[in-house]
Amino acid sequence: MAGESGGESNRTNAFVVSARKRTMQKVAKKAGESLLFTVASFVAVIVLFIFYFVARDAVPFFQIRGFTEFFTSSNWYPADDPGEFGALAIIYGSLMVTLGSALIAVPMGVAAAICLSDILPFSIRQYAKPIIEMLAAIPSVAFGFFALVVLAPLLQNNGGPMLMWAWWILVSPFMLLAVIVLSDLLTTKIIEPKRRQQLHIFLLILFSFLSIFLLFKVGTVLYGIQILTGTNALNVSIILSFMALPTIVSVSEDALQAVGRDIREGSYALGATRAETILKTVLPAGSSGILAAVILGIMRALGETMVVWMASGNSSQIPEPWFNYLQSIRTLTATIAGDMGEADQVTGSARFHVLFAMGLLLLVISFISNLISERIVVRQRKILSGQ
Amino acid sequence: MNIGTRKILDRSFTAVGIGSIVVMAIALMIVVVPIITNGIGAVFFTGTVEHRKMLFSEFKRGDSENLSSEVASSNRYRAKVYGMLTGFEAELETMAPEKKAEYQAKYSEVRAALQALLGPLPGDPEPMLTRFKYGQTRWEKAEEKLHDLLYESKWDNSNPEVMAKEYFVSRAIGFQGTSLVKLFPYVKDNFEEILLPEFTFYWGFITDSSVDSHFFGGIWPEIQGTFFLAIGAMLFAFPLGVVAAVYFTEYARPGFLNSMLRSANSTLAGVPSIVFGMFGLAFFINTLKVSESKSVIAGALTLAIMILPTIIRAAEEAILAVPKTYREASLSLGSTKWNTIATVILPAALPGIITGGIISLGRAAGETAPIIFTAAVSVGSAIGLADVLTSPTPALSWNIYNLASEHEAAAQIRHVQYGMVLALVSIVLMLNLSAIVLRARISKKLKG
């Protein structure tokens, strides 16, 4: 370039670059690029550091105490001398509240995601999205405070009636639906119209009575339940499900949006209703993305600290019977948060290192589930773009 | 299936979807509304003369003439109460020993209730803790204490099948036939004259330090600590995150290394917050020794690591949203790639990047778990900017936990806790709302 424009160098100054300057620029470009790369790889370095430093303090625990006690015993007496470090009940508590919150958050979250992606018109969706973002933005300690100060006394004082009302409000619409669908399904085989109608009405009445009986029977049982403590697994599960919902909704909405219009239109063209289209074509096509959303939401519940620390009751026990959500439990995160203050004075003791062992367990679980959900998303994107 | 049934199913499917969004909105309401209504009560409430006394002697605030006339008029009514007490004490001396012992126990309960209501009684030694130097400063608390004075709480254990029930017995019945029986109706009838309730706007709740572990005073040290931590975290994470996002969007070539870096980013986003706290303790404090023990800088660094993936993702999205034509126009004018990025792409993406930054700032302000082991203390005064490197700080998120779960009188300072939660939630929601508004404006602008 310098040779070509030599004659009129004054006018085209901006484009004339000497050979030396060019190499300088090249070097600068390489240097800049590698600097950018260094900063970007900082993230990977941090991840490695987190694994290293948590594992460094976790390994001594397993060297001192071995694996068996930690994973199989539920005697948690770290302050005793000699201490006992059985974390089974604590791990169980973590899994219990995670499962509980998933049971509430997954159906609601997927339904809300479907609603946002397929049902609501754009104008309403604009207002619904900020609601979900606000729910995600509320600090965990505010949720924890709500669980401890508002929800726990409510559950403790009016637990039975609240359970009964929740049962009636949540279940009766589905019961009604089940009655209608069941009586219809059972009569489709009969060809003679008059007999079919008679049988249909008979079944409707029969099932209605059955379902009302069931509603009242279970309702009265729930009404009689006395909740001894408001800080229990149910309380925590409800609040954690609020916290997992935004993640589940937004990630599964992305997955549903990624399923193309053509699939939906094909289904409509075959005469399917919207519900059938979504349930039979859109959901199966987006199922892996929804699975990824569920995994991410569950991880949020498993890794949450403040809510469980404040409102789970913090008693290291496996509830009696094992599915009793109305008893206090203790989780991994709450144990780390609560015991570190007493343990970090005596660095080197098993009491300090057991907390890092718990942290390592959480870290490994979150790492694996992240990898899985990432793989799922990548694969779904490949499949959908390949079609 | 019937066409009718299919239609019903379709409609109810829609209803379930809309219902779950409505439930989410209701959940948001149920959580936020009590926080707002009770939190406002920390600043706007009906204060008694005790509150104005406290403000004057602890913070040198208020009109001393006005206050002394109020105290004088309140004392006129209190003097009669104190007179009844001395009268009953004299009567006690004349009683038979067993009767005296019985009344003595009841009388000391009455005295304790009066102390809680009105502050130290004449003849009491000067209390050590500030919380006992004043009576009830808030009217609704004073009414609770009045109830404690008038009625004795008892527990009904007669039916072992159900939980014990609380019931109340009037204390006046216990003192039937003595001179003290007149005290109860007197206090009840002259309650307003004794405590002089008045609507109070206590703006000091935001700007004052706390007195006697949050019994009186405000939450300024916590607010300041939260700002230090969140802004400190942004100072580290924002530049790093934007630079990393530039690399990912402009320079990274697809390949093994790049996918590794991306995996690392999403792994970091998924790490439980408490693990960040452990890492901060093990790395920044125990290994790097950025400070002797907990400090603002260690907390800010830990929070910075936590919000880094969010910032990177938001910045990447903002950069990718810049229309391709901008880039092509700039390159066709002969500017270098770096020039294009610095002068065209980043300015165009800046509002989007800032939106991501604001959301991350809110997250850093609201997180508790990472700062438990690295930065937060429960009691402390506001620290200066120079102490950031060495000293820990109280912070809203941590102190909410501490006051609600570990404070020795958590139930008595609910209004302070609610006030703190409201302060934190409004900081975070305000940041998020501004981010939402900003984003709406950007998307309008990019559409043209």
pLDDT of residue B1: 67
B chain contacts of residue A308, beta-carbon cutoff 8 Å: none
Q: Quick one: three-class SS letters along chain B?
A: CCHHHHHHHHHHHHHHHHHHHHHHHHHHHHHHHHHHHHHHCCCEEEECHHHHHHHHHHHCCCCHHHHHHHHHHHHHHHHHHHHHHHHHHHHHHHCCHHHHHHHHHHHHHHHHHHHHHHCCCCCCCCCCCHHHCCCCCEHHHHHHHHHHHHEEEEEECCCCCCCCEEEEEEHHHHCCCCHHHHHHHHHHHCHHHHHCCEEEECCHHHHCCEECCCCEECCHHHHHHHHHHHHHHHHHHHHHHHHHHHHHHHHCCCCHHHHHHHHHHHHHHHCCHHHHHHHHHHHHHCCCCCCCCCCHHHHHHHHHHHHHHHHHHHHHHHHHHCCHHHHHHHHHCCCCHHHHHHHHHHHHHHHHHHHHHHHHHHHHHHCCHHHHCCCECCCCCCCCHHHHHCCCECCHHHHHHHHHHHCCCHHHHHHHHHHHHHHHHHHHHHHHHHHHHHHHHHHHHHHC
End position of a domain, from candidates B201, B231, B266: B201
Interatomic CA distance for residues B317 and A80, integer angstroms: 52
Q: For residues B253 and A210, which has the higher predicted lDDT (pLDDT)?
A: A210
Q: Who contacts B289 (Cβ-Cβ below 8 Å, separation ≥6)?
A: none
Confidence of residue B447 (pLDDT cuts 50, 70, 90): low
Residue A225 Cα, gap to closest chain B Cα (Å): 11
The reply to whether residue A180 touches residue B5, judged by beta carbons under 8 angstroms, is: yes
The predicted-structure confidence for A17-73, as pLDDT tens digits, reads as follows: 678 888 888 888 888 888 888 888 889 999 999 999 999 989 988 988 888 888 888
* B255 near A CB under 8 A: no
Among the partner-chain residues A40, A109, A242, the one whose CB lies closest to the CB of B261 is A40
Cα A168 to the center of its chain, rounded Å: 26
pLDDT of residue B329: 92
Provide the domain count of chain B. 2
pLDDT surpassing 50 at residue A2: no
* B260 near A CB under 8 A: yes
Same domain, yes or no: B308 and B362: yes
The reply to whether residue B12 touches residue A173, judged by beta carbons under 8 angstroms, is: yes
Interatomic CA distance for residues A39 and B244, integer angstroms: 6
Residue B7 lies in a domain: no
Q: Is the ipTM of this complex over 0.85?
A: yes
Q: Who contacts A339 (Cβ-Cβ below 8 Å, separation ≥6)?
A: A78, A351, A355
Q: Which domain holds residue B393?
A: 220-447
Confidence of residue A6 (pLDDT cuts 50, 70, 90): very low
Query: How many contacts (CB atoms, under 8 Å) link A and B?
Result: 278
pLDDT surpassing 70 at residue B393: yes
The predicted-structure confidence for A94-124, as pLDDT tens digits, reads as follows: 999 999 999 999 999 999 999 998 888 888 8
B chain contacts of residue A54, beta-carbon cutoff 8 Å: 275, 278-279, 282
Percent of chain A surpassing pLDDT 90 = 41
Q: Which of residues 99-128 of A touch B (CB under 8 A)?
A: 107-109, 111-112, 114-116, 119-120, 128
- Three-class secondary structure of residue A329 per DSSP: strand
Mean pLDDT of A173-196: 85
Assign domain A66-386 to a CATH class: mainly alpha
Same domain, yes or no: B178 and B69: yes
The reply to whether residue A128 touches residue B282, judged by beta carbons under 8 angstroms, is: no
Q: What is the DSSP letter of A85?
A: E
pLDDT of residue A3: 42
CATH number, domain at B339? 1.10.3720.10
The predicted-structure confidence for B317-351, as pLDDT tens digits, reads as follows: 999 988 889 989 999 998 888 889 989 999 889 88
pLDDT of residue A7: 45
The reply to whether residue B10 touches residue A39, judged by beta carbons under 8 angstroms, is: no
The reply to whether residue A139 touches residue B25, judged by beta carbons under 8 angstroms, is: no
End position of a domain, from candidates B140, B167, B201: B201
Interface test with B, best of A12, A46, A169, A369 (most B CBs within 10 A): A46
The predicted-structure confidence for A260-317, as pLDDT tens digits, reads as follows: 888 899 999 998 888 889 988 899 888 888 999 999 999 999 999 999 999 998 888 8
The reply to whether residue A112 touches residue B251, judged by beta carbons under 8 angstroms, is: no
Q: Which residue of A has its CA nearest to B7?
A: A273
Q: What are phi and psi of A323, to 5 degrees?
A: -100, 15
Among the partner-chain residues B10, B366, B417, the one whose CB lies closest to the CB of A274 is B10
Cα A25 to the center of its chain, rounded Å: 49
The reply to whether residue B400 touches residue A369, judged by beta carbons under 8 angstroms, is: no
Residue B21 lies in a domain: no
Confidence of residue A152 (pLDDT cuts 50, 70, 90): very high
Mean pLDDT of B187-209: 89
Mean pLDDT of B140-161: 85
Same domain, yes or no: B305 and B171: no
Residue type present at position B16:
V
Confidence of residue A14 (pLDDT cuts 50, 70, 90): low
A chain contacts of residue B398, beta-carbon cutoff 8 Å: 141
- Three-class secondary structure of residue A77 per DSSP: strand
Same domain, yes or no: B149 and B257: no
pLDDT surpassing 80 at residue A89: yes
* A226 near B CB under 8 A: yes
Residue B44 lies in a domain: no
End position of a domain, from candidates B201, B233, B261: B201
A chain contacts of residue B15, beta-carbon cutoff 8 Å: 173
Residue B12 lies in a domain: no
pLDDT of residue A8: 46
Cα B231 to the center of its chain, rounded Å: 19
Residues B406/B378, Cβ–Cβ less than 8 Å: yes
The predicted-structure confidence for B132-143, as pLDDT tens digits, reads as follows: 888 888 999 999
The predicted-structure confidence for B245-284, as pLDDT tens digits, reads as follows: 999 998 888 888 888 898 899 899 999 999 999 999 999 9
Q: Which of residues 162-221 of A touch B (CB under 8 A)?
A: 173, 177, 180-181, 184-185, 188
pLDDT surpassing 80 at residue A82: no
* B12 near A CB under 8 A: yes
Confidence of residue A5 (pLDDT cuts 50, 70, 90): very low
pLDDT surpassing 90 at residue A333: yes
Cis peptide before A82 (omega within 30 of 0): yes
pLDDT of residue A92: 94
Mean pLDDT of A371-382: 84
* A369 near B CB under 8 A: yes
Q: Which of residues 64-103 of A touch B (CB under 8 A)?
A: none
* B287 near A CB under 8 A: yes
Mean pLDDT of B172-176: 82
B chain contacts of residue A276, beta-carbon cutoff 8 Å: 6, 10
pLDDT surpassing 80 at residue B439: yes
Residue A212 Cα, gap to closest chain B Cα (Å): 20
Same domain, yes or no: B309 and B252: yes
The reply to whether residue A356 touches residue B282, judged by beta carbons under 8 angstroms, is: yes
A chain contacts of residue B28, beta-carbon cutoff 8 Å: 131, 134-135, 138
Mean pLDDT of B423-429: 94
B chain contacts of residue A359, beta-carbon cutoff 8 Å: 274-275, 278
Same domain, yes or no: B163 and B228: no
Q: Which residue of B has its CA nearest to A238?
A: B27
Same domain, yes or no: B165 and B240: no
Same domain, yes or no: B421 and B386: yes
The structural domains of chain A, with segments of one domain joined by +, span 13-64, 66-386
Same domain, yes or no: B123 and B261: no
SS3 content of chain A, % helix, strand, coil (to 5): 80, 0, 20
* B27 near A CB under 8 A: yes
Residues A48/A41, Cβ–Cβ less than 8 Å: no
Same domain, yes or no: B226 and B367: yes
* B332 near A CB under 8 A: no
B chain contacts of residue A369, beta-carbon cutoff 8 Å: 270
Residue located via tokens 């302000």: B365
* B41 near A CB under 8 A: no
Same domain, yes or no: B175 and B287: no
The reply to whether residue B18 touches residue A340, judged by beta carbons under 8 angstroms, is: no
Mean pLDDT of B27-53: 91
Interatomic CA distance for residues A248 and B428, integer angstroms: 21
pLDDT of residue A387: 53
Residue A318 Cα, gap to closest chain B Cα (Å): 23
Residue B437 lies in a domain: yes
Residues A349/A56, Cβ–Cβ less than 8 Å: no
Name the CA dihedral angle for A251, A256, A258, A260, rounded to a multiple of 10 degrees.
180
Residue B234 lies in a domain: yes
Same domain, yes or no: B324 and B178: no
